């Protein structure tokens, strides 16, 4: 059931993986929210009015009840505490640690090395060509997916961890989207790919897909 919380405004970009993961969490909680788009390709995230709101100049940012929240993983955990039903973390302490580890493989070890500002730096300052950028992107995605393949096989069920949507799915689903967009060979990760494709069928996840956003190309 959708909760109409008009105090929520998500600043993001349709193809941003971090915005994508935050949309999944918002949708999973059944929250209505307003979206404001900042086109990363044209540098809108560095516009003075947005920098006045979020000095780091990154997306997403969530305006919530008079506060500005940044960093997608922190936003998602805040959502889970503020709106605890349905939960995005398991009840057991050990299980929560595993779910957080799965999410952080993406948030800390994969995504930061493949985001727009890193790729722009490699291309514009270090003269990396298209083939080098593809190799760079693929290397870090495959390294993270190698670990996630084992963890999903060990702990997964209907979802990446168990049989309920968790913080892990919020992070992993967008990263697989990025891998597909960059043409990464995913044959070595059958369990991960099959699980994510199943998770994508969930209405809250499907509605968060980049192609379904109002600012999509």
Q: Which residues of the chain have pLDDT under 50?
A: 1-2
CATH number of 3-87: 3.40.30.10
Q: In what order do the strands lie in the sheet with 61-64?
A: 31-37, 3-12, 61-64, 67-70
The pLDDT of residue 6: 58
The pLDDT of residue 24: 98
The pLDDT of residue 124: 94
Query: What pLDDT, in 10s, does the model give residues 27-64?
Result: 999 999 999 999 999 999 999 999 999 999 999 999 99
Rounded Cα distance, 167 and 181, in Å: 22
- Considering the entire predicted model, what is its pTM? 0.94
CATH number of 93-203: 1.20.1050.10
């Amino acid at each position: 059931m959708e909760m109409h919380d008009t105090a929520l405004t998500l600043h993001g970009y349709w193809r941003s993986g971090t915005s994508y993961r935050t949309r999944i969490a918002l949708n999973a909680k059944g929250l209505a929210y307003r979206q404001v788009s900042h086109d990363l390709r044209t540098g809108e995230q560095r516009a003075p009015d947005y920098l006045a709101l979020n000095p780091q100049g990154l997306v997403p940012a969530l305006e919530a009840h008079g506060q500005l929240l940044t960093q997608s993983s922190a936003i998602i955990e805040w959502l889970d505490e503020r709106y605890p039903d349905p939960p995005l973390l398991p009840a057991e302490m050990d299980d929560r640690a595993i779910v957080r580890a799965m999410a952080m493989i993406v948030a800390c070890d994969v995504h930061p090395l493949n985001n727009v500002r890193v790729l722009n730096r490699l291309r514009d300052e270090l003269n990396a060509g298209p083939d080098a950028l593809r190799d760079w992107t693929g290397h870090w995605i495959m390294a993270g997916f190698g670990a996630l393949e084992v963890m999903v096989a060990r702990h997964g069920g209907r979802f990446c961890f168990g049989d309920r949507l968790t913080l892990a799915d919020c992070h992993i689903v967008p990263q697989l989207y990025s891998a597909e967009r960059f043409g990464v060979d995913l044959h070595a990760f059958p369990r991960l790919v099959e699980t994510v494709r199943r998770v994508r069928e969930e209405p809250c996840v499907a509605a968060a897909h980049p192609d379904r956003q109002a600012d999509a190309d």
